[in-house]
Amino acid sequence: MARKSRFALAGPLPLAGEYMPLKLNPLAGARPGCSALYIHIPFCEHRCAYCDFTAIGGIARAKEYMAALRREIALWGEAVGHCELRTIFIGGGTPSFVDPREIHELLAACRSAFSFSPDIEITMEANPSSTTFERARIWRESGVNRLSMGIQSFDDRVLKRLGRVHTADRAREAYEAVRNVGIPSVNGDFIGGVWGSTREMWRTSLSEAVRMGFDHLSCYELIIEESTPLYGAVQRGEIALRPENDLAAELEETRALLTAAGYVQYEVSNFARPGHECRHNRVYWQGDAYLACGVGSHGYLESDVAGVIEATPPGSPGCRFWHVEGIGAYIDAIRKGSIPIRGWEWISVEEKWMELVMLQLRCQEGVLDTLLDPDAVEPFIEQGMLEHRGDRVVSTARGMLVLNGIIEALVGHPPATVANG
Ligand code: SF4
């Protein structure tokens, strides 16, 4: 969504590549409510042509980077009073690509810096090519209880187009290894709408995932981001994208196939067997606070905690911050006891409201009706795209297919409580 709030209170933003060495101000005596932690590991076997994440091909300086990451975790723990974590998400990049003993040490650092709730969810992302029984055993013993696997497809032709380094058979083996070590919850990431693929290929892949018994499936459509080599190939006409109506039909089929198999669409792109919803992602979708460590990672702190960065301006509900992207700069700053931040932004009430509407309408629970202008909602109710459920407004199956348009219309009409500040 392109709209920028007129109330945004931005912290200083350095030029690209530069960063501010931020010293955290420890909070006096508080045990604040920040219960989620994101940790970024940027190393990958190679850089995929469609990827715009903070990812590096190869593993150079991984040991130094992992040591810096442990130090950053300790710095945050000291500053925010060792609060209790309910979720940790180790993402990337490809966390499974680093030595599994590094994951063990990383989680040990988390245990020293924070306390863990008894039912903590610890997710790690893994690619099939770097998942073996032995590695998975160490991840499991280190505390990982949810694995998110970058399967993308069970069709070798699609995997080849995407430039993935694994084959469908390798993905099957990796899944079996993960199950054999007893990781209790396993997600598969799948990419739909790949050029040159068909709906039949997509259906076959998803049906196999269902048969195999994945607990959770994240089904994203391929997005061509401007900063990627794939974007250039599309611009030069080397790649013909699939027509929009074909992609919409694929989306509908995804929902039909997975809901018939017992998965619940609890977010527009995410399907889970009951009890296997990703708690960490729910933190993002509910607009709650989360800490973030590692290059390129973004965090959000609510105003009572955000004082570790800077005194909270009156009326701001919280602060977003984002890290530098280069691992050299990251390691250097952490060695000096600073957090290498590229910028932060105090958000306004209006921005927070927009974010909540955008995120929560994508979820099964929808958004509180008092957060929406009834006049803006009504036409979508009449068209069967939104519906009232108790005190919430939720998207229907039909509405989910055109959600971006609905959200754009609703955030253009804030209710009086928000519009008047
Ligand atoms: S493996 Fe994932 S994170 Fe790494 S380059 Fe490919 S898409 Fe990006």
Tokens of residue 229, six digits: 């080599």
* Contact of 213 with 169, CB cutoff 8 Å: no
| Domain annotation covers residue 409 | yes
| Domain annotation covers residue 329 | no
Choose the residue to mutate in 41, 43, 47, 165 for probing ligand 1, maximizing ligand atoms within 8 Å of C-beta: 47
Same domain, 271 and 411: no
Same domain, 125 and 231: yes
pLDDT for res 36? 97
| Domain annotation covers residue 99 | yes
Name residues contacting ligand 1 (CB within 6 A): 44, 47-48, 51, 53, 55, 92-94, 127, 150
* Domain-ending residue, one of 236, 267, 284: 284
Question: What's the domain count of the chain?
Answer: 2
| Domain annotation covers residue 294 | no
Same domain, 249 and 390: no
Q: Give the Å distance between the CA of 159 and the centre of ligand 1.
A: 13
Q: How many CB atoms lie within 10 A of CB 6?
A: 8
| Domain annotation covers residue 295 | no
Choose the residue to mutate in 41, 43, 45, 48 for probing ligand 1, maximizing ligand atoms within 8 Å of C-beta: 48
* Domain-ending residue, one of 284, 307, 342: 284
Range of the domain at 89: 9-284
* Domain-ending residue, one of 254, 284, 314: 284
CA-closest residue to ligand 1 atom 8: 51
Q: Give the Å distance between the CA of 49 and the centre of ligand 1.
A: 9
Q: What is the pLDDT along the chain (421 residues), one digit of tens a residue?
A: 222 232 334 444 444 456 777 888 777 655 566 899 999 999 999 999 899 898 999 999 999 999 999 999 999 999 888 899 999 999 999 999 999 999 999 999 999 999 999 999 999 999 999 999 999 999 999 999 999 999 999 999 999 999 999 999 999 999 999 999 999 999 999 999 999 999 999 999 999 999 999 999 999 999 899 989 999 999 999 998 999 899 989 999 999 999 999 999 999 999 999 999 999 999 999 999 999 999 999 999 998 888 888 878 888 999 999 999 999 999 999 999 899 888 889 999 999 999 999 999 999 999 999 999 999 999 999 999 999 999 999 999 999 989 999 999 999 988 887 766 5
